[in-house]
Structure 1
């Protein structure tokens, strides 16, 4: 298999992206809600059944000096939980600047007329794609 999932873990939304090792590309897939610290497992399970990824890549939020911060623990817990749920080991990649890059891409799409203001909710999924692209470049 060559399909990977990338995750941008937040406290209110988890961005999900799908990538392909053969092409080295990734694309935004979904921005799923998190309620009371629990992701929308039903939606994640459906995406997993549909895409059947062989690798789970979770963005690891670090501060500007590369040190862990409170959100790092949240991402680590998510990786552990999703790994156990799917019987896979989740891997981490540094996600610094992924949200800024996703916002830049969104703004460029708005300027080009390919994105609407209502698409802003998908920025978390775009950040997951940036995370996955970063991982694919390193792999």
Structure 2
């Protein structure tokens, strides 16, 4: 089964792909939202046509105490639109707490400050979210 994972952001949405058979997440290119903040659904359509995912994993942003935040509501709206626009019912949320911190640490260890590009962070975060989902769903 092919899975796509997303790390939602108001400016950039990190993307990762994985296969349930090999259980390894791979980063894909970030999808930049339009200047107005609207989601670029055409790029998502191309992504879904290319990968034909059977399951979607979306990072759920929570406060460190587990409570919701404003972005949590935006992520749930994002999931609702994916379900409706692409007729995908198999969507799961996965706790993304500290995925961005982990992504920054990995990128910094590879190339220092120069490697800390926002798009790299978002896509690596999506990959971390998907890899964590694989590990928690054996």
TM-score by length of 1: 0.89
Quote the residue 2:29 is aligned against. Answer: 30
- State the Cα deviation string for residues 97-125 of structure 1 (Å, max 9, x = none): 110111111112216xxxx6485522101
Instruction: Report the alpha carbon displacement of residue 46 of structure 1 after superposing the two structures with TM.
Output: 0.9
Instruction: Report the alpha carbon displacement of residue 128 of structure 1 after superposing the two structures with TM.
Output: 0.5
Measure the CA separation in 2 of the matches of 1:87 and 1:59: 20
Measure the CA separation in 1 of the matches of 2:100 and 2:67: 18
The 1:84/1:23 distance shift into structure 2, 3 A limit, reads: same
Quote the residue 1:8 is aligned against. Answer: 7
Quote the residue 1:102 is aligned against. Answer: 103
TM-score by length of 2: 0.90
Unaligned runs of 5+ in 2: none
Unaligned runs of 5+ in 1: none
The 1:97/1:52 distance shift into structure 2, 3 A limit, reads: same
For residues 19-58 of structure 1, the aligned pairs below 5 Å read 19-35=18-34, 36-58=36-58
Provide the aligned length of Structure 1 versus Structure 2.
Answer: 135
Aligned-partner SS, 1:30: strand
- State the Cα deviation string for residues 54-103 of structure 1 (Å, max 9, x = none): 00111000000011000100100001101111111221000001101111
CA RMSD, 1 decimal: 1.7
Instruction: Say which structure is richer in strand.
Output: 1
Poorly superposed stretches of 4+, deviation over 4 Å: none
